[in-house]
Amino acid sequence: DAGVTQSPTHLIKTRGQQVTLRCSPKSGHDTVSWYQQALGQGPQFIFQYYEEEERQRGNFPDRFSGHQFPNYSSELNVNALLLGDSALYLCASSLGSGGDDFGPGTRLTVL
Amino acid sequence: AQSVTQLDSQVPVFEEAPVELRCNYSSSVSVYLFWYVQYPNQGLQLLLKYLSGSTLVKGINGFEAEFNKSQTSFHLRKPSVHISDTAEYFCAVRGISNFGNEKLTFGTGTRLTIIP
């Protein structure tokens, strides 16, 4: 039973570019959340998708957008990349009120 | 809104000694509480969770935590640590609502280093 998977593992972009990160939730999970983890910090909530709609959003600018597909997989898009967007991006999936299952993350470096 | 405070950013402990990692939270609503572990260059792994019932919860790898509502704390403990416990530990809180899973709010983490 595969857990949460994310792609790519690592990514290097330059300022101003756009990036798309992908996530497949754990089998049976219907809710996907995205978190940004800067170096030495705890994860910060970006947004959550349920039934293909954004249900909650954290304090992130509109440059951060997402999508959820009918098979529950999800994408995170970041436009006009800034140096400060360099971080580990974590995808988490859940079903019900228990703890979320996290993927291994995508390490984004913006030069 | 919720917030989480992890009082110790780094905790060095000798191998086979006990350890306690402290976590305090604040919230205007009832909460669920979690501890996650993060090994280098990896994602987060759930150690244990408190949803309801007994305030003492046991998790994986011999860890346990106690929910104290009056002190708004959820400290993590292990009676005897091993080298393999070296990692970053995150406390997280989730507000309880009628609208499905609320977001997780994390603390800044505690780096546990086991000294041989």
Q: What is the CATH number of the domain that holds B55?
A: 2.60.40.10
**Minimum Cα–Cα distance from B31: chain A residue:** A97
The answer, for A105 touching chain B at a CB cutoff of 8 Å, is yes
The pLDDT of B77-106, averaged and rounded, is: 91
The pLDDT of B62-77, averaged and rounded, is: 96
| Inter-chain touch B90–A43, beta carbons under 8 Å | yes
Domain that holds residue B39: 2-115
The pLDDT of B90-96, averaged and rounded, is: 93
For residue A102, pLDDT over 90 is answered with yes
Measured CA to CA, the distance from residue B37 to residue B33 in angstroms comes to 14
| Inter-chain touch B103–A56, beta carbons under 8 Å | yes
* Number of domain units in chain B: 1
CATH code that applies to domain A13-93: 2.60.40.10
The pLDDT of B85-112, averaged and rounded, is: 91
The answer, for B67 touching chain A at a CB cutoff of 8 Å, is no
The pLDDT of A88-96, averaged and rounded, is: 92
| Inter-chain touch A97–B34, beta carbons under 8 Å | no
| Closest CA of chain A from B59, distance in Å | 12
At B22, the pLDDT band (50, 70, 90 cuts) reads: very high
Residue B42, pLDDT score:
87
Residue A1, pLDDT score:
64
How would you write chain A as a 3-class SS string? CCCCEEECCEEEECCCCCEEEEEECCCCCCEEEEEEECCCCCCEEEEEEECCEEEEECCCCCCEEEEECCCCCEEEEECCCCHHHCEEEEEEEECCCCCCEECCCEEEEEC
The pLDDT of A26-34, averaged and rounded, is: 93
At A74, the pLDDT band (50, 70, 90 cuts) reads: very high
At A98, the pLDDT band (50, 70, 90 cuts) reads: low
| Inter-chain touch A94–B101, beta carbons under 8 Å | yes
User: Which chain A residues are closer than 8 Å to B110 by Cβ?
Assistant: none
Nearest to B103 among A4, A48, A97 (CB): A48
User: Which chain A residues are closer than 8 Å to B39 by Cβ?
Assistant: none
The pLDDT of A3-30, averaged and rounded, is: 96
The pLDDT of B35-58, averaged and rounded, is: 92
For residue B24, pLDDT over 70 is answered with yes
Residue A95, pLDDT score:
85
| Closest CA of chain A from B71, distance in Å | 23
Say which DSSP state B59 is in: -
Say which DSSP state B8 is in: -
How many other β-carbons are positioned within 10 Å of the β-carbon of residue A74?
Answer: 25
At B10, the pLDDT band (50, 70, 90 cuts) reads: very high
Mean pLDDT of chain B: 94
At B97, the pLDDT band (50, 70, 90 cuts) reads: confident
At B98, the pLDDT band (50, 70, 90 cuts) reads: confident
